[in-house]
Amino acid sequence: MSEVKISAAEVNKLRKATGAGMMDCKKALVEAGGDFDQAIDVLRKKGQKVAEKRADRDSSEGAAIAKVNDDNTTGVAIVLGCETDFVGKNESFVALANEMADNAINFDNKEEFLASDFNGISVSEKLVEQTGVIGEKLDINAFEKVNAPYVGSYVHINKIAAIVGFSAAVDNVETLAKDVAMQIASMGASILSYKDFDPAYVASETEARIAAIEKENEELERLGKTLKNVPQYISMSQLTPEVLAQAEEDAKAQLKAEGKPEQIWDKILPGKMERFISDNTTLDQEQCLLDQKFIKDEKMTVAEYVKSYGDVEITGFKRVSVG
């Protein structure tokens, strides 16, 4: 039986439909006897075989993408994962990630998104198909969504993507949203405020951090170096009115011991209390978005920066990253 004649136009059509290489497309068309739909099935079966072989591979590279709908009320952030940074930076791979994010914005969770239609097949099937095309395991490693009266986003070189929601579309909200989304991407906050912490988590983290600093100080003392301050607390959630009142009394006792005139204490005490709070809220500064120093102006917190835009609050945020 003679080989079926396959035209360049047919090969090109299949290539555009699947993203497979020209030789793979030609072979699939030949195997399918020139039948276009059957050729697609041939390529998908090849993808399934490749996907089965690479199922245990780590898809820790890839592209992080954020998308916001036209009226800025819904945002989605996904990570399309692959095995190597080389593929993750590939132009066609990033284009696929963007196309998938455009589709993802219409769904509320990863499961719905994976089952949704993507140019005639499901997203899950597309991932299998492209695993066969690219030769690496592909997966959706992250899916996050935010709905709010105004949603903004920021993507850092397709490695980190952040979305953030606000309670109102105030004047210059575009700038506010971009700045806060950039803060989220850069500083990696995990919750909005210290008020959202589980007390048990704060207690165990306090114990662990104090133990770590004390151990480090033993080595610093052995080397004759300056010891690090060992905080009593690590979150504003621990600084009750009683704790703050005691800290103020301790500060006054210190000023008295230093011989500072009592009439100037009022000028010194605010700075000392500010320092006490800063030294004893390190967890908040690391993990709580509103309590972090604003990266564009460290004289203010993110909460203070948001407040400068008027009657608006952050309602929620999400961050995804490659790796």
For the segment 33-37, the average pLDDT, to the nearest whole number, is 81
One-letter amino acid for residue 309 of the chain: Y
Work out the average pLDDT over 105-118. 95
Please tell me whether residues 228 and 131 are part of one structural domain. Answer: no
Q: Does residue 151 sit in the same domain as residue 85?
A: yes
Q: Is residue 310 part of a domain?
A: no
Task: Let me know: does 67 contact 76? Beta carbons within 8 Å.
Answer: yes
Return the sign of the alpha-carbon dihedral for residues 100, 103, 105, 107: negative
Same domain, 156 and 91: yes
Q: CA-to-CA distance for 149 and 166, rounded, in angstroms?
A: 6
pLDDT at residue 53, as a whole number: 67
Same domain, 171 and 123: yes
**What's the pLDDT tens digit per position in 178-228?**
999 999 999 999 999 999 999 999 999 999 999 999 999 999 999 999 998
What pLDDT is recorded for position 13?
80
Same-domain status, 265 and 178: no
pLDDT at residue 1, rounded to an integer: 42
Same domain, 175 and 255: no
Residue 319 is assigned to a structural domain of this protein: no
- Residue 311: inside a domain, yes or no? no
Whether pLDDT at 3 is above 80: no
315 domain-assigned: no
Beta strands in the chain (DSSP E): 61-68, 74-82, 117-118, 121-122, 139-147, 150-156, 160-166, 293-294, 297-301, 314-321
- pLDDT for the residue 276: 93
Can you give the pLDDT at residue 20?
A: 67
CATH number for the domain spanning 129: value is 3.30.479.20
Whether the predicted pLDDT of 144 surpasses 90 = yes
Residue 322 placed within a domain: no
Q: Are residues 169 and 252 in the same domain?
A: no
Count structural domains, the chain.
3
Please say if the pLDDT value at position 6 is more than 90: no
19 Rama sector, left if φ>0, alpha if ψ -120 to 50, beta otherwise: left
What pLDDT, in 10s, does the model give residues 239-289?
999 999 999 999 999 999 998 899 999 999 999 999 999 999 999 999 999
1, part of any domain:
no
Of the residues 157, 188, 219, which one is the last residue of a structural domain?
Answer: 188
**Angle at which helices 123-134 and 91-104 cross, to 10°:** 170
**pLDDT value for 287:** 94
Interatomic CA distance for residues 231 and 276, integer angstroms: 9
d(CA 146, CA 150) in angstroms, rounded, equals: 10
Burial of 5 (0-12, 13-18, 19+ CB in 10 A): exposed
Q: Are residues 177 and 224 in the same domain?
A: no
pLDDT digits (tens, 9 = 90+) for 8-32: 888 888 777 766 667 777 887 888 8
Q: Are residues 165 and 269 in the same domain?
A: no
Note down the domain range covering 272: 195-303
Q: Is residue 267 situated within a structural domain?
A: yes
User: pLDDT of 51-107, one tens digit each?
Assistant: 566 667 777 899 999 999 999 999 999 999 998 999 899 898 999 999 999 999 999
pLDDT for 130 equals 84
Confirm whether 201 is domain-assigned: yes
